[in-house]
Amino acid sequence: MKHLLTLLLCLLFTATSCTAGDPMKFVYQGEVAGIMCIHCTNKVEAAMKKLPGVQSVKITRDEKGGLPKLEIIASNAAITREDAVKVLGDDAKMYDVRSLKLIQGK
């Protein structure tokens, strides 16, 4: 009886921790040219957060001197490089989104 109760509790815990209603997350990665300082980073991150479904944006500098890396986590599977350029508006003249690819959640 004790084992049966333990088994039931384990099944109940598993069922509640993996609900079907959890939203799917999509991860995009790319590169952005023109980011020189923290102000530039903040400006680009703020613009990317305006894209539909974006939950978080992170820009990291390449330690080897390459282009800064852009990572976007979103609930939307339809974000394109063109969308990212468009949301930058006039700042697209200063910051060049060189690439943006869906890498997870497809």
Q: Please name the fold of domain 23-104.
A: Alpha-Beta Plaits (3.30.70)
Grouped pLDDT means (10 residues each) for the chain, 106 residues: 47 45 85 95 97 96 90 93 97 96 86
pLDDT of residue 105: 84
Element spanning 96, H or E: strand 96-104
pLDDT of residue 9: 45
Can you list the alpha helix ranges (DSSP code H) found in the chain? Answer: 2-17, 38-48, 81-88
pLDDT of residue 1: 55
Report residue 67: phi and psi, to 5°: -70, 145
pLDDT of residue 4: 45
* Whole-structure pTM value: 0.75
